[in-house]
Amino acid sequence: MGRLFFDTTETLVYDPVAANRTATRAALFTLGFRKIETVATLDTFVEAIRRRPPDLALCEAQGSDTALCKTIQDLRQGGQGFNPFIVIIVTAWEKSGALVSRVVNSGADDLLLRPFSTTLLGQRIETHVERRKGFVVTTDYVGPDRRKDLTRPSNIEMFEPPNSLKMKAKDRLSVEETAMRLDGELRGAREKLNNEKLKRDAFQISILWRLMQERVPGAYNEELAKIGHLAKGITRRCQDTDFETAIEWCESVLAAVEGLQAGVDRNAAMHLLGHAALSLNHVFHSEKSTVEILTEVDATVAIIRARSLAEATSAAAS
């Protein structure tokens, strides 16, 4: 393993406590980092990422972990900034189960407990240069692969995210060379992220529709809100792509949602929702027939129902 050089690496540190920002900056400087920007608020952290995405971000969770994790999640989904794949290390003073869950689900690369030594920080950063986890895309998550059982069958495809930290620290590319390579890799990675999100979100709409069919009116308001959110997200992602026909089906989905929320002609609205949802899936899976898509949806719904039944049975037994 060769030596790593961090002198051209751009790092952003967010921490509301001045003393902690100073300590983190000092540790990074000892490790060889020279281009270090520090900010004291979450708003300035987001603005800094939008203005010039860093290669590495360290951000403190204490006091605003929910807002921070939502910000990271938005970044990973492509909703903030230019590069959704920057290396992100979250720091915290207390490692509660709830905090760990939020950080893991945000898509951050790592969680580092304070107070940490310069050596430990260096080891964690080295890991994300040399052995960074591959990324996965699901309906609710974009980030490092967290699956514990890698032998378990899964249709989730993993890909290697662009890593400008590695380009500069290990590959020793100049700032200009890094920008050129990163630009090319980002185009491919963002397209992959976008396409996977479209497929996952369209599939999720069909699953929610199927789950709603056995519910009585008024018992699926949460599902309707989720479907509306997904359809609007798909519409945004389909602008100026080869999937513009999906926008029309999203409009039909939203019309069905509106009808169900208003309580007018449930059967007609539910039929419209199902037809639009399956047609939307077909846009992103043109190689599959509607019957094949519906079969896959029903298989997934059966798994969800079996899992819910097992959980309910276990809860009743205890």
Query: Quick one: 138 and 203 in the same domain?
Result: no
CA angle 258, 262, 268 (to 5 degrees): 70
One domain for residues 164 and 230: no
Shared domain check, 218 and 129? no
Residue 264 is predicted with a pLDDT of 83
Specify whether 53 is located in the same domain as 83.
Answer: yes
Contact at 8 Å (CB) between 189 and 22? no
**CATH at 52:** 3.40.50.2300
The first and second tokens of residue 112, run together, are 């580092």
pLDDT at residue number 316: 76
Residue finishing a domain among 116, 142, 173: 173
Q: How many domains does the chain have?
A: 2
Which of 173, 204, 222 is at the close of a domain? 173
Considering the domain architecture, whether residues 198 and 161 belong to the same structural domain is answered as no
| Amino acid 152: pLDDT | 46
Give me the tens of pLDDT residue by residue for the chain, a chain 318 residues long.
Answer: 468 999 999 999 999 999 999 999 999 999 999 999 999 999 999 999 999 999 999 999 988 899 999 999 999 988 555 799 999 999 999 888 899 999 999 999 999 999 999 999 999 999 999 999 999 998 889 999 987 644 444 567 789 999 999 999 999 999 999 999 999 999 999 889 999 999 999 999 999 999 999 888 878 899 999 999 999 999 999 988 889 899 999 999 999 999 999 988 899 999 999 999 999 999 999 999 999 999 999 999 999 989 888 887 877 776
Q: Count other C-beta atoms under 10 Å from residue 104's C-beta.
A: 16
Residue 317 lies in a domain: no
Indicate whether 180 belongs to any domain.
no
Whether residue 65 is contained in a domain is answered as yes
Q: Do 76 and 42 lie in a common domain?
A: yes
Q: 304 and 167 share a domain?
A: no
Does residue 183 lie within any of the structural domains?
no
Domain that holds residue 20: 10-173
Strand order in the sheet with 35-39: 35-39, 10-14, 56-60, 87-92, 110-113
> Is residue 186 assigned to a domain?
no
Q: Does residue 282 fall inside a structural domain?
A: yes
Same domain for 221 and 131: no
In this prediction the pTM is 0.84
Instruction: Examine residue 2 and state whether it is found in any structural domain, yes or no.
Output: no
Same domain, 153 and 229: no
Do residue 24 and residue 107 come from a single domain? yes
Quick one: pLDDT at residue 149? 47
Q: Kindly write down the DSSP assignment for every residue of the chain, as one continuous string.
A: -PPP--TT-EEEEE-SSHHHHHHHHHHHHHTT--EEEEESSHHHHHHHHHHS--SEEEEE-TT-HHHHHHHHHHHHTT-SSS-TT-EEEEEES---HHHHHHHHHHT-SEEEESS--HHHHHHHHHHHHHSPPPEEE-SS-EEE---S-TTS---PPEEPPP-HHHHHHTS---HHHHHHHHHHHHHHHHHHHHHHHHHHHHHHHHHHHHHHTTSPTTS-HHHHHHHHHHHHHHHHHHTTSTTTHHHHHHHHHHHHHHHHHHTS-HHHHHHHHHHHHHHHHHHH-TTS-HHHHHHHHHHHHHHHHHHHHHHHHHHHH-
CATH number of the domain enclosing 241? 1.20.120
